[in-house]
Structure 1
Amino acid sequence: MSDILHYLKTRRSVAIPSLAAPAPEAQDLEDILTVAARVPDHGKLAPWRFILIRGDGAVIAGRRLADLVERREGSLSETRRRVEETRFTRAPLVVAVVSTAAEHVKIPVWEQQLSAGAVCMNLIHAAYAKGFGANWVTEWVAYDDEAKAILAIGEGEAVAGFIHLGRPTETLSDRPRPALADVVREIGPDGEAGEATL
């Protein structure tokens, strides 16, 4: 089995609290983002962009998110405030992959959104190739316009994912995966979908 196939068969997400410093930076980060951008992109639109959330910027973003929640819900418990304030400091680097998909004369919005999803997965693969771990999440911030504005995500843009990056501090065990018999069908000679023969 090739190294790539072995990696793809064994890769899994690292729990965010288990992602420690150092984060990818300098050439490592440039390589990771370069690979992330090498995805299917019908029409060469590059319908996505990256926002790096780290260091003092991550701290400030967390405080602003906590303030936003407090304005809406009233005084926060110490625990709830800490959850919001540390949302982007749980890992040493968070890369927001922002979908900029828009109506186009030839390219459906859905295809542009799929391209942004491919960016997220390529980013994760590139991070692992560099010896880092990753976790792809969205959470409430991705779907809230005021929260997105705190992160300089514009109106009409969507969060494809917040990719948390760092060095894994634990040995990962696999989780159950779907059985192929449950997710694979084949169009038979009668034109009907039935069980597939692999």
Structure 2
Amino acid sequence: MPSLDLLLSRFSTDALAEPAPQGAVLDTILSTAMRAPDHGRLRPWRYVIVQGDARPALARRIVASMKRLDPDVAPAKIEKRQTRFSTMPMIIVLGMHLRPGDKIPLIEQELAVGAAAMNILNALHATGFGGVWVSGDVAYDPELAAELGFPAPHGLAGFLFVGTPRPGARGPTRRAVDDYVAEWTGTPVRFGADDA
């Protein structure tokens, strides 16, 4: 039961401070990715750790991508991303090493990347750290992906901001699961969450 309590208490937060995990602790956290469901054992996840003086350089690439994707991007949006990518204690770039010609469909490869990232978020929480998974338009920019080491057909699944949750950081109130579950009895199901 303590493991379930741990999972039920996890939340995403970008209210993060130093320190971020390092050394053997970080290795253990990242190793949880290797336990994710992975049809075909392709291990399509790849991680790039960005910290210290590399953060502002990544932020400049993010801003360049934003301007490339939308020349009219709002200055406030640029400033927000510049600040976040420059100041988070650690950023983990979520790379996808995809094999389009493989017998395993691409969607299953991408789902494996997502499952591995969720394992990392759970492991961060279990070790006293925190994080949030962010994406946005730049995560789908093939030029940015290539600049980070993931040329097509590979790509990005987003970024994890990682650090120690600031005092008072807490997640949103979670809804009860009842509206998201239905039992199939031979006819199409309906969900309470879809009636809202």
Residue by residue over 1:177-197, the C-alpha shift from the partner in whole angstroms, topping out at 9 and shown as x without a partner, is 344332212121xx224479x
Question: With structure 2 as the length reference, what TM-score do the two structures score?
Answer: 0.83
Aligned length: 190
- Please state how far the C-alpha of 1:69 moved relative to its aligned partner: 4.6
Partner of 1:37: 34
Deviating runs (4+, > 4 A) in structure 1? Answer: 67-72, 74-77
Q: Which moved more, 1:96-105 or 1:135-144?
A: 96-105
Match of 1:192 among 159, 162, 187: 187
Matches within 5 A, 1:15-54: 16=14, 18-54=15-51
Is residue 97 of structure 2 the alignment partner of residue 100 of structure 1? yes
Instruction: Specify the code of the residue in structure 1 equivalent to 2:158.
Output: G
Partner of 1:64: 61
Partner of 2:194: none
The answer for unaligned runs of 5 or more in structure 2 is 192-196
* Residue pair 2:95, 2:150 contacting (<8 A) in 1 also: yes
Is residue 128 of structure 2 the alignment partner of residue 131 of structure 1? yes
- Please state how far the C-alpha of 1:103 moved relative to its aligned partner: 2.5
Match of 1:82 among 79, 84, 90: 79
Partner of 1:161: 158
Partner of 2:180: 183
For 2:108 and 2:67, the matched residues in 1 are separated by: 37
Q: Which has the larger radius of gyration?
A: 1
Partner of 1:73: 71
Identity between Structure 1 and Structure 2 (%):
35
Residue by residue over 1:54-86, the C-alpha shift from the partner in whole angstroms, topping out at 9 and shown as x without a partner, is 122221121233345557638985x55533433
Question: With structure 1 as the length reference, what TM-score do the two structures score?
Answer: 0.83
- Please state how far the C-alpha of 1:115 moved relative to its aligned partner: 0.5
Distance 1:175 1:75, change over 3 A: closer
The answer for unaligned runs of 5 or more in structure 1 is none
Instruction: Specify the code of the residue in structure 2 equivalent to 1:13.
Output: S
* Residue pair 2:59, 2:82 contacting (<8 A) in 1 also: yes
For 1:44 and 1:140, the matched residues in 2 are separated by: 29
Instruction: Specify the code of the residue in structure 1 equivalent to 2:154.
Output: E
For 2:4 and 2:72, the matched residues in 1 are separated by: 51
For 1:149 and 1:54, the matched residues in 2 are separated by: 19
Match of 1:150 among 140, 147, 165: 147
* Residue pair 1:97, 1:119 contacting (<8 A) in 2 also: no
* Residue pair 2:6, 2:126 contacting (<8 A) in 1 also: no
Residue by residue over 1:28-54, the C-alpha shift from the partner in whole angstroms, topping out at 9 and shown as x without a partner, is 111111112221111111112111121
Distance 1:137 1:70, change over 3 A: closer
Distance 1:80 1:59, change over 3 A: same
